[in-house]
Amino acid sequence: MDDICVICGDSDELRVRCGSVVQTSARPGGYNPRVIRIEGLTKRYPESERDVLKGIDLEVGAGDFVSLVGRSGCGKTTMLNVLGGLDEGWKGVVEVAGQRLDTLADRDLARFRRRTVGFVFQAYHLLEHLSCSENVALASRFGGGGDGRSRAREVLDLVGLAAAADRRPTRLSGGERQRVALARALFNQPQLLLLDEPTGNLDTATGGEIIELLVELHADLGLTMLAATHDDAIEAAGGRRIRMVGGTLSEDGAQV
């Protein structure tokens, strides 16, 4: 089976990973290393009287591993949902991998979710009636051609669950389910991986394994990651920590 190559990188270099081989090269001129650009992002839920996001500005470069921390209800998940194209009814400018989300029609937004971002939820959100490989390849049903089985097995192998490809998620442990969810997020080689409390439903040891996997993937694939978390270990693993308080952001105590 031919390896599928993943291209990623940061402001200084590009990394190409084909199977287990990673090649690094200097970036060509004119490349925009910025994966996330947010300006004046404001969001208020219809039934609420206050803004959950209050004029947020943020930039995240390619290959960054950013942890987004803050108390429950401060708006972390809402911000991830906006970045993942899952949420509507917000104001401001949100640009991910060069795509202005406020200008995308529903069909384009769906393609954006399918191709540009990968989302890992705290509660896994795997479909129990499908096998692990079918869950991983779910996006292929909505476009892209092919049944995606070989690619699904490849990413399951990447997260160490190749043997579970034909099993149903209900027969897996919490950690294994989160690995399948991670494989699903990686299926279409996203430019941005959004993780919403990826270890929130796991015990410390299992959560630690997931974090190790994330760190490894970040190192190998050079993925841009934004993880909303309460987990100190993820905070420690991330190269950049952003704190969210009452719908606003601060980095190392300062407004970004």
3-class secondary structure, 15? strand
Per the CB < 8 A criterion, the answer to whether 187 and 119 are in contact is no
3-class secondary structure, 244? strand
Burial of residue 132 (CB within 10 Å: 0-12, 13-18, 19+) is buried
State yes or no: residue 119 binds other proteins (CB under 8 A). yes
State yes or no: residue 251 binds other proteins (CB under 8 A). no
Interface residue with other proteins, options 36, 63, 75, 121 (CB under 8 A): 121
Distance CA 158, CA 175 (A): 15
Q: Which is nearer to other proteins, 84 or 175 (CB)?
A: 84
From 29, 79, 30, 72, select the one nearest 256 (Cα to Cα). 79
State yes or no: residue 143 binds other proteins (CB under 8 A). yes
Window 37-76: contact mask with other proteins (x via CB under 8 A)? ----------------------------------------
Show Cβ contacts of residue 20 under 8 Å, excluding neighbours closer than 6 positions.
none
Window 173-202: contact mask with other proteins (x via CB under 8 A)? -----------x---x--------------
State yes or no: residue 127 binds other proteins (CB under 8 A). yes
Interface residue with other proteins, options 16, 22, 86, 162 (CB under 8 A): 86
Distance CA 136, CA 164 (A): 11
Find how far residue 119's CA is from the centre of its chain: 4
Interface residue with other proteins, options 123, 163, 219, 236 (CB under 8 A): 123
The site for other proteins (CB under 8 A) is made up of 77-78, 81, 84, 86-88, 106-107, 109-111, 113-115, 119, 121, 123, 125-127, 129-130, 138-145, 147, 184, 188
